[in-house]
Amino acid sequence: KLYEDIADLPGLHYDFVVVGGGTAGNVVANRLSEDPKVSVLVLEAGLSNEGVLSSQVPFLLSELIPDSTYSWNYTTIDMPGLNGRSIPYFRAFFLGGCSAHNGMVYTRGAADDFNRYATLSGDSGWSWNNILPYFLKSEKWSAPADQHDTQGQFNPQIHGTNGPISVSLNGFSWSTFEQNIIQTTKQLPNDFPFNLDTNSGSPLGVSWLQSTIGGGERSTSATGYLAPHFINRPNLHVLLHAQASKLVNVTQKAGKPNFGGVEFRYGNSLYVAEASKEIILSAGPVGTPQILMNSGIGDRSSLNALGISTVLDLPSVGKNASDHPSLSLMQWEGWHSGTRRAQVPSLTRGVGTHIGFSRLPINSPAFAAFADPSPGPAAPHLELTFTPGGFGMPGANLMTIGIAVVSPMSRGSVMISSSDPFAPPLIDPGYLSSEFDVLALRHGVAQAQHFVSAPVWNGFIGAITTDIAGLSEAELEGLIRNTTGASFHLVGTAGMSARGARYGVVDPDLRVKGALGLSVIDVSVVPVVPAAHTAAIAYAFAERGADLIKQRWS
């Protein structure tokens, strides 16, 4: 049951307490409460998702994301890699978490990403072959809203049909634009080959975009995993407006701290929710490390400096953050014929119709200075997204090729600045702190120009909106550093490593190293950012994480 008022909550003692009703947290709550003998409480700091039209209607995305009502309203620290700029860093503040306000792009990443996770964690359960069933378990492949013929636009064999999260191809047609993209894969097949399905584990090439949309509506962890028949389970309680501050009720068991309670703020009062079996932190890559550090779990010297006594010395908490730097610089004036524009419904949400992934060439200057950060030869360095409009600006008379480095070398962090558990954390995605990522973006700029050099674009697009042709190398680098923005795909701040490793925050079973009664299940455990937008991986990791919890308590 969903509770808005704590006075209605029947009690504060549960088997499991999940902190954060976001993308991953609701999966965990759903799967654990499948057993009617088990009681589960979800503490969500934010608001209800009920009736939030801008979240339900995909087209309203550009209104939703900047809406301060549904956001934690964070900004990053000043980042040297972005010439000292601080930028907004969106995190959702309502049930469903970022799945309820993200760009809905559905991508899983490269098989090599997951095989690297298996190697780093020493657990083959995280390999591509073993994690794929969890992607399928969370997914319900759905017909697009316009019911168009989707043959040749995806591979039905690699999609789930019974999961809570709807995934579909675009439900609107930008027919001429779409034909041009596909025609480019024919005119420049070596550089931009067509890939039937970007989610096969082999994402290289240009594919039709898939989104977490069903029947024209956004599908989220709240609409899917907390659908009425789940949220009405008597053993599942979800409390809104409940912001966790820290872990309490710490006892010693077998020489290890055992965590038994979560302190949270509701209104102006503090409460404690008790978990007899486990606490699961699912507060996302910003919230989770913050709660850990508030609780004295982190780097001893940093905690000491803030006057927080150390319960567990885990120096990796909040460190090793990785994210995709993103550039929306490459825009061209729209096509000349006004009649063509009038033919197509202006229903794109400004995210695009196709997605492409590519590698840097072997002779790239990036490899002269840096070892290849990608997880393997079939994994991309760059993502290109193709949008008939401005990125995030539906209806604009532009064409945009968005560029992101999906195998970044830069690393950042999420740290606390105060012993006040409610003070905003210091978010540093570390964008462009490594020159590798600048070199990769430069190559992306060249690739975008090459894409529109295919003959099919002749007469279709006009001038580029930012004339980069006359820029020196230094000027282009300056422009990149001045315009790069966030993808919001932060991971790694409570990273998974092998059992016994001297770094990392959680073991391969997602339990916090050296602790009892405490797990982390959200994207903060993903050790390195995958070559993908990260919601699908949040679902898949949470599905397996829930299975691991069930196994140890069965």
Ligand X SMILES: Cc1cc2nc3c(=O)[nH]c(=O)nc-3n(C[C@H](O)[C@H](O)[C@H](O)COP(=O)(O)OP(=O)(O)OC[C@H]3O[C@@H](n4cnc5c(N)ncnc54)[C@H](O)[C@@H]3O)c2cc1C
Q: Which among 101, 159, 443, 489 is annotated as catalytic? A: 489
Q: In the complex with ligand X, which residue's Cβ is closer, 311 or 360? A: 311
Q: Tell me whether residue 39 or residue 107 sits nearer to ligand X (CB atom).
A: 107
Taking the complex as a whole, the smallest distance from the CB of residue 314 to ligand X amounts, in Å, to 19
Tokens of residue 330, six digits: 């490459």
Q: Which residue lies nearer to ligand X by CB, 43 or 409?
A: 43
Candidates 237, 241, 354, 533; catalytic one: 533
- Contact status, residue 56 vs residue 405, Cβ threshold 8 Å: no
Tokens describing residue 441:
């973006």
Residue placing its CB nearer to ligand X in the complex, 99 or 200: 99
Measured from the Cβ of residue 227, the count of other Cβ atoms closer than 10 Å reads 12
If you search the block for the tokens 């069930």, which residue do you land on? 550
Least distance in Å: CB of 423 to ligand X?
12
* Lookup: tokens for 256: 């290890």
d(CA 234, CA 223): 18
Minimum CB distance to ligand X smaller for 231 or for 283: 283
Is residue 211 a contact partner of residue 141, using CB atoms and an 8 Å limit?
A: no
By beta carbon distance, the residue nearest ligand X is 22
CA 58 from centre of chain? 17
Q: Is 105 annotated as a binding residue?
A: yes
Q: Is the separation of the CB atoms in 295 and 247 below 8 Å?
A: yes
Picking from 161, 136, 230, the residue whose alpha carbon sits closest to that of residue 536 is: 136
425, 334 contact by CB (below 8 A): no
Whether residue 496 is annotated as binding a ligand: the answer is no
Whether 26 has a binding-site annotation, put simply, is no
Min. distance of Cβ 101 from ligand X in angstroms?
Answer: 6
Is there a binding annotation on residue 104? yes
Closest CB 496 distance from ligand X, rounded Å: 13
**Where on the chain is the footprint of ligand X (CB under 6 A)?**
19-25, 43-46, 65, 90-93, 97-99, 102-105, 243-244, 282-285, 287, 291, 488-489, 522-523, 533-536, 538
User: Which residue from 194, 199, 209, 188 is spatially nearest to 447, judged by alpha carbons?
Assistant: 188
Q: How far is the CB of 359 from ligand X (least distance, A)?
A: 21
Cα–Cα distance measured from residue 364 to residue 368, given in angstroms and rounded to the nearest whole number: 7
The Cα 289–Cα 505 span in angstroms is 10
Which helix (H) or strand (E) segment holds residue 168: the answer is strand 165-169
148 is catalytic: no
Question: Has 533 been annotated as catalytic?
Answer: yes
Residue numbering of the annotated binding site for FAD: 102-105
Please list the active-site residues: 489, 533
Residue numbering of the annotated binding site: 102-105
